[in-house]
Amino acid sequence: MMNLTEKLAELNKKGCTLTIQRHAILKYLYKNRTHPTVEEIYYSLKKKFSAISKATVYNTLELLKNYGFIQEITIEKGKLHFDYEVEPHHHFFCHKCNNIYDVNVEGCPLAGKKMIDGHKIEELRPYIIGTCSKCL
């Protein structure tokens, strides 16, 4: 997994302006691996950057996603979550506590595949829904 410094350097190399807001958002995701929502990111950053705007949070997350530096999670209905980790892994969503857990599943037949049924594969989002160990 690419650490924060590496990712920032990579972003810079690709010509992306590294504003204080973008830095802060990526750093937040690096430190908080709980798959935070936009809401959570926004309110946490507001403590340090009281003037930050939601639009910036949305724009930056979109930007970082398009660069391939973060991953968007559409597991919870009507709400976006984000993940610093972009290496393929499964997400488990507990519908009781609404938490998202990383899980590792070996032997996925899609791993490394570029095409399926004539469609070009660009991203995998393998979600598992259920009740987590804590809620059981």
Partner DNA sequence: CTCTTGACCTGGAATTATTCTAATGTTAGA
Partner DNA sequence: TCTAACATTAGAATAATTCCAGGTCAAGAG
The Cα 23–Cα 28 span in angstroms is 8
Contact segment (CB under 8 A) with a second copy among 10-18, 21-29, 50-58, 126-134 equals 126-134
Is the CB of 4 or the CB of 132 nearer to a second copy?
A: 132
Q: Cα separations (Å) of 49 from 15, 39, 43, 44, 112?
A: 24, 15, 10, 9, 40
The interface partner of residue 75, options being DNA, a second copy, none and the CB cut-off 5 to 8 Å by kind, is a second copy
Is the CB of 22 or the CB of 35 nearer to DNA?
A: 22
For residues 112-123, b (16+ Cβ closer than 10 Å) or e, as one string? eeeeeeeeeeee
Would you tell me which residues interact with DNA (CB under 7 A)?
16-22, 37-39, 49, 51-56, 58-60, 62, 77-80
Would you tell me which residues interact with a second copy (CB under 8 A)?
72, 74-78, 80, 90, 92, 94-95, 101, 103, 105-110, 116-133, 136
